[in-house]
Amino acid sequence: MAGLLATITVSHYLAVGAFFFVTGVLCMATKRNALGVLMGIELVLNGANLNFIAFGSQYLREETLGLDGQLIALFVIILAAAEAAVALAIALSFYNAHSTIDVDQGDELKG
């Protein structure tokens, strides 16, 4: 265990990011609740963020993305917030129109 702990590298961060990504994708695929799908998207974005941060971290590598990694992560966070607002609005609108938030039932093309 100690050996593992001593050698945290970018790859470890990437592994966590990958786990986030896969969980998020599975959430998007399996959840029937629209808000559950939204949470899946958040997880995916967070996984990507983790990768950017890892590549930008000066603790982990000699040559890094520098501030770029952090800035891109920042932009992702901001966009995720915006996306969540829109998605929530869509979900509520969907709920108003269909009286359900089960995305499986939203297969008709009218509001």
Partner 1 sequence: MAEFFAQYMPAWGAYLLTALISVALLLAVVGLGALFFIWAERKVAGRIQDRLGPTRTGGKFGWLQSLADGIKLITKEDLAPADADRLLFRLAPYVSLAPSYAALLALPFADGWVGWEINTSVFFLLAILGLEVFGVILAGYASGSKWSLFGGMRQAAQVVSYEVPLGMCGVIPVFLCGTMSLTTIGNMQAGWATNWLIFHDPFTFMVFWVYFTCAVASVNRAPFDLAEAESELVAGFHTEYSGLRWSFFFMAEYNSMFVVSGLAAVLFFGGWNGPVPIFASWKAAGGGWEIVADLAGCLNFIGKAVLGVMVMIWVRWTLPRLRIDQVITTCLKYCVPLAAFCFVGALAWQLASLPSPNDWLSPDPAGRAAVREPWVERAEDGAERSGTSGAEELARLAEDKR
Partner 2 sequence: MLAAIDLHGFLFVLFALTACVFAAGVLFSSNIVRMAFNLVLSLGSSAGLFFLAGAEFVGAMQLMIYVGGTLVLLVFGVMLTAQHRFLEMRTNAGEWVLSLLVGGALLMVLLQAAFSVSQWNTPYAQRDQVEIDESKSATPIAAALTGVRVDKLEETNPRLRAGKSGYLMPFVIVSMHLLVVLVGAAYLARPRMAVRQMRRGG
Partner 3 sequence: MATANREQIIELDVRTDELLVNMGPQHPSTHGVLRLVLKTDGEIVTHVEPHIGYLHRCAEKIGENLTPRQWIPYTDRMDYLAAMNMNLGWSLCVEKLLGYELPEKARHIRVIIAELGRIASHLVGMGTYGLDLGTFSPFLYAFREREKILDLFEEVCGARLTNSYITPGGVTGDLPAGWLEKCEAFLDQFVPVITEYHTLLTTNAIFIQRTAGIGVISREMAIDYGCTGPVLRGSGVDHDLRRDGEERYTEMYDGYAFEVIVEKDGHYPRDHDYPPVPPEAVLGDCWHRFYVRMLEVMQAIDIVREGIEFYRASSGDWGHPIKLNTKLPKGEVYLETECPRGQMGFYLVSDGSAIPWRVRARSSCFCNLSVTEELCRGCLLADVAAIVGSLDIVMGEIDR
Residues 63-92 that bind partner 3 (CB under 8 A): 92
Q: Which is nearer to partner 2, 7 or 107 (CB)?
A: 7
Residue 44, interface with partner 2 (CB under 8 A)? no
Query: How many Cα atoms are found within 13 Å in the side-chain-facing hemisphere of 18?
Result: 6
Q: Which is nearer to partner 3, 80 or 91 (CB)?
A: 91
Question: Which of 3, 96, 110, 111 is in the footprint of partner 3 by CB under 8 A?
Answer: 96
Residue 33 pairs with which residues in a beta bridge? 102
Residue 7, interface with partner 3 (CB under 8 A)? no
Q: Which is nearer to partner 2, 108 or 111 (CB)?
A: 111
Distance CA 15, CA 56 (A): 16
Residue 60, interface with partner 2 (CB under 8 A)? yes
Residue 33, interface with partner 3 (CB under 8 A)? no
Q: What 3-state class would DSSP assign to 33?
A: strand
Backbone angles phi, psi at 82, to 5 degrees: -60, -45
Query: How many Cα atoms are found within 13 Å in the side-chain-facing hemisphere of 64?
Result: 19
